[in-house]
């Protein structure tokens, strides 16, 4: 806390075209915080390079992710929207926190295990220490609340442990953050393999619905979604596909799972899949329109980035001078 306002911080990697998992699990919830909070939303490009990126694509997606933040309802006048690598304090505190994070802790991170299996030819040190940089992002702004999808819970717990460890050694320095994980839409699953998370870097296009997908593509992907041999629109064990479609429907409409089951009672899977597609298309339409408008104005996006980086750097500097003093760094 820098003043009497609670601080909210979150980040999204510009590592692919964002999915409805990113939207429902993260960005949509970023808009849910009251006016009297201080909100920082970051495009975490330093995190993205833990996996090999094509530079021109990384640059384009950095603009796109920022534009999506705004298109999803984050007003740059009211939220600090910025790009991680434009505020060097993230890398600086990241290194410092590497020295307060244990090898054993990092070895237990499931995201590291998953990503090193996926990228066996590039298990670099950054992929391993990714969570300390994420802790730095959060702790730099004395964050109270971190809205994320459930897949990030383990990283959040690590950030809390690192904050507590640093505070124990050096006296109160960092606020210990709390995760904020929404009940609905917290883990949207792949449409082709509903046992695994919908991920923006999935090479199977039919498995992911992207925020910027055309309506036809959205409808087609939902129609092809993997379900089971039953035909009742009802949640249940072994019905991962339908469970997932029900949670997507609920997340977009605000209805409960019970209401949804009643609404589609006796209607079969075909009609339900089309209905999920339709609510998705209509929820995304305004976002897509606003996105197109913003992408046509690069100068505006650059001004948002610049302003955001200045504001973020101002607060980051306050924390860094405290950290430097506590550590015994000179000057």
Q: Which helix (H) or strand (E) holds 228?
A: none
- Catalytic-labelled residue, pool 200, 221, 239, 273: 200
Determine the residue with CB nearest ligand ATP.
25
Buried b (16+ CB within 10 A) or exposed e, 32-71: ebeeeebbbbbbbbbbbbbbebeeeeeeebbbbbbbbbbb
Per DSSP, the residues of 167-202 read HHHHSS-S---EEE--STTSSPBPSS-TTSB--TT-
Q: Which does 138 bind (CB under 5 to 8 A by kind): ligand ATP, ligand LTN, none?
A: ligand LTN
Q: Is 243 a residue that touches ligand ATP (CB under 6 A)?
A: no
Strands 37-43 and 178-180: unpaired
* Residue 326 is a catalytic residue: no
Burial of 309 (0-12, 13-18, 19+ CB in 10 A): buried
Site pattern 153..182 for ligand LTN (x: CB under 6 A): --x---------------------------
Site pattern 190..229 for ligand ATP (x: CB under 6 A): -------xxxxx----------------------------
Segment contacting ligand ATP by CB under 6 A, of 9-17, 123-131, 163-171, 238-246: 9-17
Query: Partners of 41 in the beta sheet?
Result: 10, 81
Closer to ligand ATP by Cβ: residue 150 or 296: 150
Query: Partners of 145 in the beta sheet?
Result: 8, 178
C-beta separation of 173 from 326 below 8 A: yes
* Residue 115 is a catalytic residue: yes
Closer to ligand LTN by Cβ: residue 47 or 210: 47
Q: Is 9 a residue that touches ligand LTN (CB under 6 A)?
A: yes
Smallest gap from Cβ 211 to ligand LTN, in A, equals: 15
Number of residues written out for the chain? 331
Segment contacting ligand ATP by CB under 6 A, of 18-26, 253-261, 265-273, 309-317: 18-26
Tell me how far apart the alpha carbons of residues 9 and 145 are, in angstroms, rounded to a whole number.
7
Q: State the residue for tokens 């860094």.
A: 320
Active site residues: 115, 197, 200
Task: List interacting residues with ligand ATP (CB under 6 A).
Answer: 12-13, 15-16, 19, 21-22, 25-26, 148-149, 151-152, 186-188, 197-201
């Amino acid at each position: 806390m820098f003043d009497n306002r609670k601080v909210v911080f979150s980040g999204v990697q510009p590592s692919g075209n964002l999915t409805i998992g990113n939207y429902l699990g993260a960005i949509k919830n970023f808009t849910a915080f009251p006016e009297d909070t201080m909100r920082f939303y970051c495009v975490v490009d330093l995190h993205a390079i833990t996996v090999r990126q094509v530079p021109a694509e990384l640059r384009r997606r950095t603009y796109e992710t920022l534009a999506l933040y705004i298109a999803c309802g984050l007003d740059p006048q009211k939220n600090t929207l910025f790009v991680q690598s434009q505020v060097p304090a993230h890398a600086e505190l990241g290194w410092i926190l590497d020295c307060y994070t244990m090898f054993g802790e990092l070895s237990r991170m499931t995201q590291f295990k998953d990503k090193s299996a996926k990228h066996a030819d590039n298990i670099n040190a950054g992929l391993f220490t990714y969570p300390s940089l994420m802790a730095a992002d959060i702790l730099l702004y004395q964050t109270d609340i971190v809205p994320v999808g459930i897949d990030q819970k383990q990283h959040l717990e690590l950030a809390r442990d690192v904050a507590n460890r640093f505070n124990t050694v050096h006296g109160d320095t960092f606020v210990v953050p709390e995760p904020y994980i929404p009940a609905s839409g917290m883990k949207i699953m792949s449409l082709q393999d509903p046992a695994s998370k919908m991920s923006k870097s999935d090479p199977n296009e039919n498995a992911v619905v992207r925020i910027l997908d055309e309506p036809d593509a959205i409808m087609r992907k939902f129609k092809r979604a993997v379900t089971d041999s039953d035909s009742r629109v009802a949640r249940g064990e072994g019905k991962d596909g339908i469970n997932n479609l029900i949670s997507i429907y609920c997340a977009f409409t605000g209805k409960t799972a019970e209401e949804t089951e009643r609404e589609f009672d006796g209607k079969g899977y075909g009609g339900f899949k089309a209905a999920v597609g339709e609510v998705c298309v209509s929820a995304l339409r305004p976002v897509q329109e606003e996105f197109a408008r913003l992408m046509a104005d690069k100068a505006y996006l650059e001004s948002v980035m610049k302003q955001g980086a200045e504001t973020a750097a101002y607060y980051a500097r306050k924390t860094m001078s405290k950290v430097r003093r506590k550590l015994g760094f000179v000057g």
